[in-house]
A = this chain, B = another copy of it.
Amino acid sequence: MKQSTNERIGQLEFLFNPRSIAFVGATETVNKWGFIVLNNILAGGYEGEVFPVNPHRETILGIPVYPSVKDIPRPVDLAIFTVPAEKVLPSLKECAEKGVKVALVISAGFKETGEEGARMEQELVKVAKEADMILVGPNCQGISHPSAMLYAWMPIFFFPPAGRVGLVSQSGNILNILITRIMEGRYGVSKAVSSGNEADLKAEEFIEYFAEDPETDVVLAYLEGMRDGRRFMEIARRVTAKKPLVVLKGGRTPSGAGAARSHTGAMAVSSELFRAACRQAGIILTHTMDDACVIASSFLYRPLPRGRRVGIVTGGGGLGVIASDLCTDMGLEVVRLSPKTLEELAKLLPPWWVPGNPVDLVAGLDMAVIKPVVEILARSGEVDAVLFLWIGSPRRKDKPEGLQKGRGVDMARVWEFMDRHLMQFAGEMVQLMGETGVPVYIASSLDQRRGVENLYGQERSRDPLIFSSVEDACLAIGAAAEYSSYLRRENRL
C-alpha cells in the first residue's frame, strides 16, 4: 500500500462522483444483477459516461458494449463488477492497468463461501492495493449518491431523494430499510454504502469520509462487527466532534452474534464493553431500525438542547402523561416551572387550567394560544427543549353511512384546516428556534402515520421533522440531550 489513509478516503470522491463507469457483467437478462444494477444507474439519471463490458453483446439498452475493460477507449473512474466471483480478478487486473480509481465489487462468492473464496478475495485486494485502487465489497449491494443521481446498487428501482443523512451498512437489506424509514420522515440521503465483506474499505472509512462530507449532517451506520475496535472508536471520536454518529449494532446477544458470524463473519464484541466505548466516543447507540432512523433524522434542521430540562405543551392530558413518563425514561427532566412563568402561562389559558409542566392546553386547539405558550417556555431560560404534542384529528377516508342517507353533514374538510394550522405552526417554530436556540419538537400522533405526509410535496425541505408519535419525539430529545452532554463534557460545545 503506497497511499496514506487520508488519500484512500479522499479517493472515495471517485466512488460517489465518478466521471465514468465501467460495468463488468452487463447483460440484458432482466432478472440478473448485471441488468438490474446497470438499469438502476441508467434509469436513475446518472449523467456521466457508462461503458458496459460483455464479450458477447454489441449494445445493451442502446449503449455500446466493450468486450473487456482494456477495450474501453476513455478513462474510467469507477468499475462495477457483477460477474461471477472467479471472473472478477482478470477484469480487475485490466482496471489496475488502466488506472481505474475505485472498484465496486457487487459479486458474491468470496470469503462468505469458505476458504477458496477468501483466497480469491485476498487476491483482489492485492491487485487493487498495488495499483492504488480502492475496493468496495465484495458481496455488497452497491452504493448511491442521490444528488449526483447515481444509484449503483441492487434494490430494484429504488431512487431515494437527496438529503443530509450519510449511511453505511454491513447489510444490504438493513440499508434499504433504514433509507425507507428516513424517507418516511420526508428526508433523503447524502450518500449510502453497503460495505459487504469489507475486504479493503471498511465501515469506519466511510464514516470518516462522511465526517468531512459537506453534504452530510448526520452519520448513520449499521454494524455487525469491526476488525479493529480501537481504531474504530478513534475514528468515531473524530466524527462525533463534528456531527452526530448514530450506530445500530447487530449481534448484541449470543444468538444475534451467532447469526452475525454466519452473515458477515463478524466477531462477537461484548455488549457491555461496546456500549461503554460508544458512550466514551459520543456515539448514539440504538437497537432498532426505527429508533436509529428517528434519532438520525431528528438532528436535522434543529439546534441541540443545552441540557436535560424539558417543557411539555400538550393538546391532551393523556398525551402529556405518556410524554412525562417517556421523558423520564430517557433521563430527561420534566422541570418544575417558576411561579413567574406559570403566571405568564395562566394569562393565556382558561381559569380551570391546573398550573404545571406538562402545560395541558385543556383541549385548546387555538393556534393563537399554542404559539405564545411554546414561546413563553422557549424564552423562559427554564427549559432546554420544548415538546409540543398536537392532538390532531383521527380520520378515516371512506364515506360514512349516514351521509348516504342524508343524515348529518360532511366535516372532512376540518382535517385540511387542521393540517394547514400545523404546517404554519411548524414554520413559525423554525423561526423561534433560530431566535432562541432552544429546540422545539413537534409530535403529531394522529394526523397520519409517519408524520403529516399529505402536507408535503415530493421532498421536505429545511423543516425539522414532525414526529409521528410522542414516543419517537421523546426518544429524539433523549438522544439529542445525550449527544449535547457529550460535547459539553469534551468542551466541544
**A interface residues (Cβ-Cβ under 8 A, vs B):** 30, 36, 39-46, 61-63, 109, 112-114, 149, 155-161, 169-174, 176-177, 179-180, 183-184, 222, 224, 248, 250-256, 258-260, 262-264, 287-290, 315-329, 333-334, 352, 354, 356, 358, 360, 391, 393-396, 398, 400-412, 414-415, 445-446, 449-450, 458, 469-471
Contacts and interface: CB of A to CB of B under 8 A. Distances in A.
Contact of A318 (B158, B172, B394): B172
Contacts of A255: 324-325, 327-328, 333-334
Contact of A352 (B113, B264, B334, B408): B113
Contact of A158 (B36, B46, B356, B395): B395
Contacts of A30: 409, 411
Given A45-B405, A400-B44, A469-B290, A259 B446 contact: no
A255 B326 CA distance: 10
B402 A179 contact: no
Given A255-B324, A262-B360, A414-B157, A318 B174 contact: yes
Contacts of A172: 316, 318
A263 B360 contact: yes
26 contacts: A41-B402, A43-B401, A43-B410, A63-B407, A156-B414, A158-B394, A158-B396, A159-B396, A170-B318, A171-B318, A171-B321, A172-B316, A173-B315, A174-B316, A174-B318, A176-B446, A180-B445, A180-B446, A224-B318, A250-B322, A253-B329, A255-B333, A259-B320, A259-B360, A287-B325, A449-B449
Contacts of A171: 316-319, 321
Nearest to A401: B45
Contacts of A222: 318
A124 B360 CA distance: 26
A255 B357 CA distance: 9
A394 B176 contact: yes
A279 B409 CA distance: 47
Instruction: Please give me the 6 A-B residue pairs with the lowest Cβ-Cβ distance, nearest first.
Output: A171-B318, A45-B401, A43-B408, A173-B316, A263-B317, A256-B325
